[in-house]
Amino acid sequence: MHPTIARVMALFAVLALGQGAAAQDPSHAVESAWKLSTALGPAYPQGKAGELWAALIDERSGGRLKVKLYPGATLAQRDPAREFAALREGAIDLAVGSAASWAPQVRELNLFALPWLFPDADALDALLRSEVVGRLEERVRAAGAEPLAWVPDGFRELATRRAIHAPGDVAGLRLRVSPLQPLLDTLLALGAAPASMDAASALAASAHGALDGETIGIAAYATSRLYASGYTHLLLWGAHADALLFAVNRVRWNTLSEADRELVRQAARDAAGQAAALTRRLTDTASLAELGRHGVTATRLTSAGKQPFRAAARTAYERWSAVVGEDLVRAAEAVVAAPR
């Protein structure tokens, strides 16, 4: 063998031995970054919640625990409804997800989408502090994820080209809606023509006059400037609530020390608190006034004003109560009806 070739082969052998020793020595082990998924980017409360959680874990672990944020549900084929399955299977380590989006995998999470279950934001807050949440967490845990914290995410309101005052005004409207069956069933019960489509398709349909509006949260309405599409009437009808859930893959969770579990859990709770404050800020009176400066007319239904809508959508409520479980629904109804 040529001397030069022999020296090169010897060098490779030494390097290979060194790498093998490093791999076996825990002091040289490098923890790969955990993958944290959110369906939305940091401009929205959900994406900001994920960003805050990742930053707090990194900061409080002194950089030992690294987290990389993947917004836009990119680890779940850009489909929020697939996100929980990816979390359960380990393609995602951590996630801040919408209860409504995860409900196809954990049917009890459809509780939040029962039409007009929650009379107001305070009722949603009360439920998230109640024993009902513990029962929901049991189901999430059984489905393969460890729940750590919750954030009230407000309501999906109705943005349209013309004012809506009564259920009859919704009949026949072509409305874009998230592909969530409780929402679709509610709009069908009201006589609307709901359609599920992505943002690009919705923009094109709106430009051609093929859509009359969509259901959307106030924060998303403002951030996406949906009023520029001609949907300048915003009905604050409180039809469907939502909540954000911080969760960790169960296998990942089980590998953590008790100290690291507490670190990750407390980081989730602190990030949840900040995200909740952001949601309140984006939906408060000042934010609605700002929308008014863009030509938006916001109308908030009173309790009496909601009643005809609730009655018209009763079939959807009953159908999805059966899916969620009557006992759980009755417990939730008792919480939201209690004086505060």
pLDDT at site 41:
94
Residue 295: burial class (beta carbons within 10 Å; 0-12, 13-18, 19+): exposed
Residue 197 has pLDDT above 80, yes or no: yes
CA distances 289 to 157, 221, 233, Å, are 16, 14, 13
pLDDT tens track for 168-182: 999 999 999 999 999
Residue 240 sits at φ, ψ, to 5 deg, of -130, 125
Token pair recorded at residue 142: 């059984």
- Summarize the confidence of residues 206-216 as an average pLDDT: 94
pLDDT band at 244 (very low <50, low <70, confident <90, very high): very high
pLDDT tens track for 285-324: 999 999 999 999 999 999 999 999 999 999 999 999 999 9
pLDDT at site 4:
41
Higher pLDDT, 265 or 3: 265
Cα 79 vs. chain centroid, distance in angstroms?
12
In this structure, the number of other CB atoms found within 10 A of the CB of residue 22 comes to 12
Strand 145-160 with 213-217, pairing: antiparallel
Q: Could you give the percent of the chain with pLDDT greater than 70?
A: 91
What is the C-alpha to C-alpha distance for residues 60 and 65, in angstroms, rounded to an integer? 9
The sign of the CA dihedral 292, 276, 246, 182 is: negative
The sign of the CA dihedral 174, 178, 181, 183 is: negative
Domain range summary for the chain, segments of one domain joined by +: 31-337
pLDDT band at 32 (very low <50, low <70, confident <90, very high): confident
pLDDT band at 30 (very low <50, low <70, confident <90, very high): very low
pTM: 0.88
pLDDT at site 252:
97
Q: Which amino acid is at 241?
A: A
Please state, rounded to an integer, the average pLDDT across all residues of the chain.
91
pLDDT at site 323:
98
- Summarize the confidence of residues 16-37 as an average pLDDT: 55
> Which residues 6+ apart lie within 8 Å of 314 measured at CB?
189
Of 167, 156, 163, the closest CA to residue 98 belongs to 156
Residue 6 has pLDDT above 90, yes or no: no
> Which residues 6+ apart lie within 8 Å of 70 measured at CB?
35, 36, 37, 38, 92
CA distances 284 to 226, 250, 299, Å, are 18, 37, 14
Domain 31-337, CATH: 3.40.190.170
pLDDT at site 31:
58
